[in-house]
Structure 1
Amino acid sequence: MYRILIADDEKDEREAVKFLLKKYKFELDIVESENGHDALQKAKKQGTDILLTDVRMPFLLGTELASQTRELYPNVQIIFFSGYNDFPYVKKALTLGAVDYILKPINPEELRKVLEKAIQKLNARKQIIMQKQFAAAYLQNHVLSRLLYGAKAEMLCSEYRDIDLAFLEKFKQLLLLQFDNPIFGSIPQDHFEKSIAGVLRGWPHHFLNLNTYQSVLFLQDTETDSSVAAMAQILQKQISADAGEPCYISISSPLTGADSIAAAYAQAEKALDDRFFFRNCYVYPIPDKISTSLESYEDDDALLRSAADAIRFKDSYSLQKSVNMLLTKYQHKRNQSHINVSYILSQLATILYSALPADKEDLQVVIERLYFCQYFEESKALILDVTKRVVATLAADTESTGHTIRMLKQFIQNHYGEELSLSRLAKQFYLSPHYLSDLFISETGCGINKYIKTMRMEKAKEQLLNTNEKIQDICKSVGYTNFSYFCRSFRETFGQTPESYRQSAH
């Protein structure tokens, strides 16, 4: 709505003008004043689009009021009305660019036509401004789009020589807004722009829609990375609420000029690749402190070999450990493509399926699902499900742990006089050393080495009591190659040396 300032020292004249404005249904915000000085103050304070002023007024002539108002608002539409048809006043009015000069008493029809003419000029001016703004905005968006996709600023400056591209240097950082579905094509752009303006609260910015999935928000005057990150978190919640589905936001590194825009956009896009690893995170890049430290993990080939060896030795414990280490390694690993991770996990699936009585088609279905998983958590769940089936199969193959331990004890009973290393025993029963050790402790409450030592000491004691063999020969017969160590072990077990024990027994 345009504002009209009616300046006349005669109240009846002002009332007559207001009556005619209402009669002809002009939708104008009406301000009135009874003298030139008061009118100028109101113009300064409230602004005005149309000045309808008498020529002669107290304190400040209408021509001077018009002149000073024109300085304040160059596009103001000025209309004089007066009871004096003096050429000097008419000439002054023309120099001020007045729309018209109306004589009193005011002719209603003449006033209507003059006001319509003034409003037409205002509308035309407004249309020109809107067209210029639209053209400027379109050009800005066009230039920014080309910079995002790799055009150089120097080339654009040569192409658009008549356009000032200094606005590009005002941008300090960009935010990439992205949906998994074509949301930017289904919701009006101005809806997003209003939400963004509400969150930024005066923070200078420029919104650019790239396609139905992506938009870019250019920021000016960024203060700190933390303030941008905090704002991005709030903006993500607001945009997601507006769209009815999650919006992902990626914060670029600071811009260092127009030619850095393409690299910043590419970096922001790449950061969103981590969505595969961080299912419930929506603002990227993820701070380093959230990412798991992975330097201590073995390489992929070693972990895959460990899984294969665990299956060969029917070692469920080691298998689950290898699988979990590989999954943890890639849970939050940076700079890895979805395809590469899916390839590693498909190799693991192939190893796991070697222990299952399933056909190749079942394995192929699992591999295809791995490649189509949208998030790492889905891939992880799929691998863990297969691992669970493999563990169950291995348990069935080895019957029960109790049976395994009974067989192990029997083997030790029959071979206690030989070298009985943990690796030899594990190989004998197709288990990993670590798993066999844990299994034995779980079933018996003591370690394998302690069990072997106890059995050897008991066998040595029997021979000392029941035979006349030399102690050195008994030492060798129960599996010891170092006589001093045998004697020390015997004393630790029974509180006497082998010689003293034999003498006291007889």
Structure 2
Amino acid sequence: MYQLLIADDELDERMLVKYLLKEYEDDINITEAANGKMAVSLLQKQHFDILISDIEMPFINGIDLATKAKELYPDIEIMFFSGFDDFNYVRNALSLHAVNYILKPINQTEFHESLSEILKRLDSKTIEFTKSEKYIEDHFHDTTDFCPEDSAADTTPTLEDSNLLGEIKTAIRESDTEALRNTVMHFIDKYSKLGNVSHMYIRYMCTSVLQALLSCQSDGKDRFDSVVRQVYYYKHFSDISSLIEEYLDAACESLEKELPNQSYAVTQTIKFIEQHYNEDISLTTLADLVFLSPNYLSNIFAKETGSTINKYIRSVRLKKAATLVKNTNMKISDIAAKVGFSNTSYFCKKFQEAYAATPDAYRQVNSSYENTQE
């Protein structure tokens, strides 16, 4: 489906053009702009295949708008319409390769003839582009091997991109949907701004990202070939990025269904803390225990318990300490060391924060021993 932008400050004229485009609704998606400035803003946000513009508009006129459109998208097709039968306008329009210039009031037959010419040119460009299918057959016939030796010269990922792909795979392995979404969107943002990179390299990277995302789905391998062909059939990165976002959403949805597995990791972490609270417990030790990265374990632990791991360890130690303060006559310094605090002063401070009383005061009120000692 081709993306078409109508730019005209007159609502009636925009409505007329939309009416004339009604018979093309299966082939064209229409967006409107009420002036040239708004049109430029839209062009900067997404790709358009066709621009239909009035020439006389507020803020930015049609000629300047078309010049900007050509800078952003050299292949964009442009149709002007204007109430001014002025040769200078026509000459400027022709200099922008806008061979379609229609005078107002718009003649329906002339409009359809001009648009048909534009669509034929766009279709021919698309047909030419899809000849790259041979590249797909030669380099992507094996879904288990993304980088055959004979194509390494063209598609060897840079170190930065290799790391990025590694981050995507790690996020998938750890079911970290937040990291996955952030990394993939960073990839999309990066290549939406790069204009001096081989289109084959970009497509290769996109298929690599899509292969990783498809691994989250049971039928991913079966769907891979058709997805790759979509990547190579698309003319514009905006279309490819939309495809990636679609599969990103599907991947995140699949991973989120596996959240109970994350709870198992948190449960095992809590169990270990309960059993080893008096030891020096590092985040790395806990992460290795449940085969997750330290950062990811921290994130899911906080989400599921509402507490950081360090705070949870400290709360367990203080609960154990409160029991010892209440039910034994051990020295406070010994209790601090027994539950894992190396600094007695720090222990007393945290105990008071948790129980609104110093260990001594807490013992006096709650102890089952009449005689306590320090």
Query: Structure 2 length as normaliser, TM-score?
Result: 0.53
Q: 2:356 is matched by which residue type in structure 1? A: G
Matching of residue 341 in structure 1 with residue 229 in structure 2: no
Separation in structure 1 between the aligned mates of residue 230 and residue 269 of structure 2, nearest angstrom: 42
Q: Deviations over 1:450-503 (max 9, x none)?
A: 232222111111122223444344323323233332232222222344345445
Matched, 1:420 2:308: no
Letter in 2 for 1:200: N
Matched residues, number: 252
Q: Which residue of 2 aligns with 1:71?
A: none
Counterpart residue number, 1:324? 185
Q: List aligned pairs for 1:120-139, cutoff 5 A.
A: none
Change (3 A) 1:390 1:178: closer
CA deviations on 1:330-353 (whole Å, 9 max, x unpaired) are 233333343222122222223334
- What secondary structure is seen at the aligned counterpart in 1 of 2:260? coil
| Alpha-carbon distance in 2 for matches of 1:321, 1:312 | 15
Could you tell me how far apart the structure 1 residues matched to 2:201 and 2:111 are? 30
Paired position in structure 2 for 1:456: 317
- Structure 2: how far apart are the matches of 1:388 and 1:338? 25
Q: Alpha carbons of 1:432 and 1:481: their partners in 2 closer, same or farther (altered >3 Å)?
A: same
In structure 1, list runs of 5 or more residues that go unmatched: 1-174, 184-190, 209-213, 218-231, 248-297
Question: Is contact 1:315-1:432 (8 Å) kept?
Answer: no
Partner of 1:375: 236
| Residue 200 (structure 1) aligned with residue 71 (structure 2) | no
* 2:373 equivalent to 1:485: no
One-letter code of the match for 1:347?
Answer: S
Cα pair distance change 1:403/1:199, threshold 3 Å = farther
Q: Say whether 1:244 aligns with 2:115.
A: yes
Deviation track 1:138-190 (CA, whole Å, cap 9, x = no partner) reads xxxxxxxxxxxxxxxxxxxxxxxxxxxxxxxxxxxxx8997679x9xxxxxxx
Distance apart, 1:312 and its partner CA: 2.4
The residue type equivalent to 2:326 in the other structure is L
Contact 1:240 1:246 in 2 (8 A): no
Contact 1:416 1:479 in 2 (8 A): yes
Which protein shows a greater Rg? Answer: 1
> What amino acid maps onto 2:249 in structure 1?
K
Structure 2 contact 277–340 (Cα < 8 Å) conserved: yes
- Alpha-carbon shift at residue 322 of structure 1 (Å): 1.2
Q: Distance in 2 between matches of 1:411 and 1:425?
A: 8
Cα 1:459/1:437, change in 2 over 3 Å:
same
Give the direction of change, closer, same or farther, for the CA distance of 1:179–1:379 in structure 2 (3 Å limit). closer
Structure 1 pair 338–195 and aligned structure 2 pair: CA distance change class (3 A): farther
Q: TM-score, normalised by structure 1?
A: 0.41
Q: Distance in 2 between matches of 1:477 and 1:395?
A: 40
Q: 1:494 aligns with which of 355, 360, 366?
A: 355
CA pair 244-206 structure 1, distance change in 2 beyond 3 A: closer
Partner of residue 390, structure 1: 251
Matches of 1:306 and 1:196, distance apart in 2: 57
User: 1:308: Cα distance to partner?
Assistant: 1.6
SS in 2 for 1:302: helix
Look up the equivalent residue of 1:387 and give its one-letter code.
Answer: L
> Do 1:317 and 1:435's aligned partners in 2 also have CA atoms closer than 8 Å?
no
2-structure distance, mates of 1:329, 1:357: 29
The answer to whether the 8 A contact 2:287-2:294 is kept is yes
Question: Structure 1 vs Structure 2: percent identity of aligned residues?
Answer: 30
1:398 CA drift (Å): 4.4
Find the counterpart in structure 1 of residue 161 from structure 2: 300
Aligned residue type for 1:413: E
1:343-358 equivalences under 5 Å are 343-358=204-219
- Say if 1:355 and 1:390, in contact at 8 Å, map to a contact too: yes
Does the 8 Å contact 1:307/1:323 carry over to 2? yes
Q: Which runs of 5+ in 2 are unaligned?
A: 1-69, 104-109, 119-158, 370-374
Q: How does 1:98-137 map to 2 (within 5 A)?
A: none
In structure 2, how many angstroms separate the alpha carbons of the residues matched to 1:206 and 1:453? 73
Are the aligned partners of 1:417 and 1:479 in contact in 2 as well (CA < 8 Å)?
A: yes
Structure 2 distance, partners of 1:321, 1:431, is 18
Give the alignment partner of residue 364 of structure 1, picking from 225, 238, 248.
225
Question: What is the deviation of 1:434?
Answer: 4.3
CA distance in 2, matches of 1:246, 1:311: 47
Q: Per the alignment, do residues 301 and 200 of structure 1 end up closer, same or farther by CA in structure 2, a change over 3 Å counting?
A: farther
Q: RMSD of the TM alignment (CA)?
A: 4.5
Amino acid at match of 2:193: H
Query: Which protein has the bigger helix share?
Result: 2
| Equivalence for 1:313 | 174
Q: Which residue of 2 aligns with 1:475?
A: 336
Contact 2:174/2:296 (8 A) holds in 1: no
Q: For residues 24-61 of structure 1, what are the alpha-carbon distances to aligned partners after superposition, in whole Å with 9 as ceiling and x for unaligned? A: xxxxxxxxxxxxxxxxxxxxxxxxxxxxxxxxxxxxxx
Q: Distance in 2 between matches of 1:339 and 1:199?
A: 43
Look up the SS of the partner of 2:171 in the other structure: helix
Question: Would the aligned equivalents of 1:310 and 1:431 in 2 still touch at CA under 8 Å?
Answer: no
Match of 2:300 in 1: 439
